[in-house]
């Protein structure tokens, strides 16, 4: 016989799974950033050492990595709670109609 899962338990488990997926996505993004920019640095110094064009992708892509970090590790709880509240509000609104 299976035991019943409460809505709060489901929400908590869903939030944990979602956060873990986002963390993995961030670390994949960071790994790709490091690998591609390392290759870009090598290419820059081998072919055009007089102009350091590599600082531009490192800087601007770095902004994206920082933004991704903030979204994954700082703002995610707020986003999940807002989405949860919107879903509950929508469900209550549907039940009234």
pLDDT digits (tens, 9 = 90+) for 20-43: 999 999 999 999 999 999 999 999
The Cα–Cα gap between 43 and 8 comes to: 52
Where along the chain do its domains lie? 19-96
The Cα–Cα gap between 68 and 9 comes to: 28
Give the chain's largest Cα–Cα span. 72
Q: What are the pLDDT digits (tens) for 42-63?
A: 999 999 999 999 999 999 999 9
The 3-state DSSP composition of the chain as helix, strand, coil percent (nearest 5) reads 85, 0, 15
Q: How many residues can be counted in the chain? A: 97
- Predicted TM-score (pTM) of this structure: 0.78
């Amino acid at each position: 016989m299976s035991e019943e899962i409460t809505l709060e338990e489901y929400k908590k488990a869903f939030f944990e799974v979602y956060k873990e997926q986002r963390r993995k996505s961030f670390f994949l993004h960071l790994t790709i950033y490091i690998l591609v920019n390392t290759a870009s640095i090598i290419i820059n110094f081998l072919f055009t050492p007089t102009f350091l064009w590599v600082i531009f992708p490192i800087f601007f892509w770095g902004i994206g990595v920082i933004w991704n970090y903030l979204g994954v590790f700082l703002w995610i709880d707020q986003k999940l709670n807002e989405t949860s509240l919107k879903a509950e509000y929508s469900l209550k609104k549907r039940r009234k109609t």
